[in-house]
Structure 1
Amino acid sequence: MKLFAKKILLATGWENNKTLTIEQGVITDISEGYSAGAERAKGVIIPGMVNCHSHAFQRAFAGFSEQGSEGQDSFWTWRNIMYKFLGQLTSQDAQVIAKQLYIEMLKMGYTRVAEFHYLHHDINGENYAELSAMAEAIFAAAQQSGIGLTLLPVLYRFSGFDSQALAMVKSALLTQLNNLMT
């Protein structure tokens, strides 16, 4: 596909009258002037934005923690609601939620997303038989929507602000982590 831009923002600054060659969603060439058969862009062309901090699953419970605590909200109020929500979330649900979010992001001009990934448990609270199930769901959502994805694996060593050990982590894992950190 070829796209002609009267005005475009490039790494070198604003330019005029350029034709972009786009193959499989990637700009492979930028040439001077109008190329025959190029579609004419409406308005200016700017690079897509990057959302560098996403937790896609949170999109589905937005607003759930906004009521019911009668002014007694805390970080933990929200966190408890999140964990209740996650207790019902399957990898298929996560994929649908992420795909919808990524489509919305693409419509708003985002072309890449960095997804913080720390979901590893099924609705019974157990690790998925295939530990990559949730990651694969997020990758599939990105591929289906067409957004570029960087998956950022996350491991929390503590459950609170005061270095409390995670309740669900076995002491052997904590020992291994401590050995790695020293």
Structure 2
Amino acid sequence: MRSCHILVTSLIGLAFLGAAACSKQQQEEELVETPKPPAIDISRPQPFQSPDAELNAAMQAARDSLPAFVAESMNNDSSGTAFTVKVHAVAPAGEEDLWLTGIASDGDHYTAVVESDPKLLAAEFPMGTEVRFGVGEVVEWHYFKDDKVAGAQVTRILRKRMTPEQRAEHDVIYPFPFE
């Protein structure tokens, strides 16, 4: 009887050791990250331009201030939130502006993740896709600080051109204080 008890106890102990070993191996396998696909590069040799001079000036201001925007977004002491940058993407299906988050700089270029839900370029740039871009693709950037929108210079210009009805509709979709 005692040998049977020892055998059962040994088997239970081995089962626990085996489970622990499997669990440890499983944990180690889970720690091995699957390599993420490379960012889709949307950089172009020439910066994106609008036929509208006022919008081009606003885009250039956003491009010129992009390093400060990126620094603010990476500042752990910043009171700003929801840092996003809008870039102009070109693909075989057409052209579309994409909102990106999680911006980082690797020198002359930037990477970020598609936050918006593209309409025309959904197949090429589904939400969550990482893209790499140059400053020339930047249309605008914005973030929230002190309950107001910082940046968004292109949006501010477009809002001034909206009818009261269009602005009211925009305010329902984007209920942020732009002015």
Question: What TM bracket, shorter-length normalisation?
Answer: under 0.3
The structure that is helix-richer by fraction is 2
Give the alignment's TM-score, normalised by structure 1.
Answer: 0.23
